[in-house]
């Protein structure tokens, strides 16, 4: 056997690389199909809405007005206010503060909600999707004495 022939013989390189590529493509396709079959694809697209809220605090009346400044529209049933006085805390769709929003209402730019707060409280606007999954804090207000 001549050792020079071993170095010059490369007939098996192309078939080996071809088999490795075929296996890799099969594994990737199986992973993508399994993601959607098992329902994981729905959770991937379940991201929080991109919105901005502003707050206007009236220390005399101890009222905090939460204003949707812009961004995506959000169903009122998916928004919650936490950290306000116990009678005002809860779903945006409840008749809290001066709100007339129902669960089917859509909160868009310019809509506002007034809740009662103390100057040492922290209020959060939280998005909780109706399909379930992870919630997200969209905006936070800290009182002047918090």
CATH of the domain at 115: 2.60.40
Domain of residue 63: give its range: 51-142
Whether residue 70 is found in the same domain as residue 95 = yes
Q: What is the pLDDT of residue 91?
A: 73
Q: What is the pLDDT of residue 51?
A: 92
Residue 43 — pLDDT band, cuts 50, 70, 90? low
Nearest-angstrom CA–CA distance, 65 and 113: 6
Tell how far CA 80 is from the center of its chain: 14
User: In the chain, how many domains are there?
Assistant: 2
Among 112, 88, 117, residue whose Cα is nearest residue 100: 112
pTM: 0.64
Helix/strand/coil for 100: coil
Whether residue 27 is found in the same domain as residue 12 = yes
Residue 69 — pLDDT band, cuts 50, 70, 90? very high
Whether residue 40 is found in the same domain as residue 60 = no
Q: What is the pLDDT of residue 83?
A: 85
Q: What is the pLDDT of residue 60?
A: 83
């Amino acid at each position: 056997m001549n050792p020079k022939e071993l170095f010059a013989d490369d007939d098996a390189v192309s078939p080996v690389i071809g088999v490795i590529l075929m296996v890799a493509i099969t594994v990737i396709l199986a992973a993508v199909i399994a993601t959607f079959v098992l329902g994981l694809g729905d959770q991937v697209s379940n991201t929080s809405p991109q919105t901005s809220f502003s707050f206007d605090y009236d220390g005399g009346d101890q009222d905090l007005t939460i204003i949707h400044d812009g961004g995506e529209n959000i169903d009122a049933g998916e928004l919650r206010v936490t950290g306000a006085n116990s009678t005002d805390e809860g779903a945006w769709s409840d008749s809290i503060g001066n709100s007339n929003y129902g669960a089917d209402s859509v909160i868009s730019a310019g809509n506002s909600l007034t809740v009662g707060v103390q100057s040492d409280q922290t209020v959060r606007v939280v998005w909780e999707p109706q399909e379930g999954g992870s919630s997200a804090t969209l905006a936070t207000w800290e009182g002047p004495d918090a």
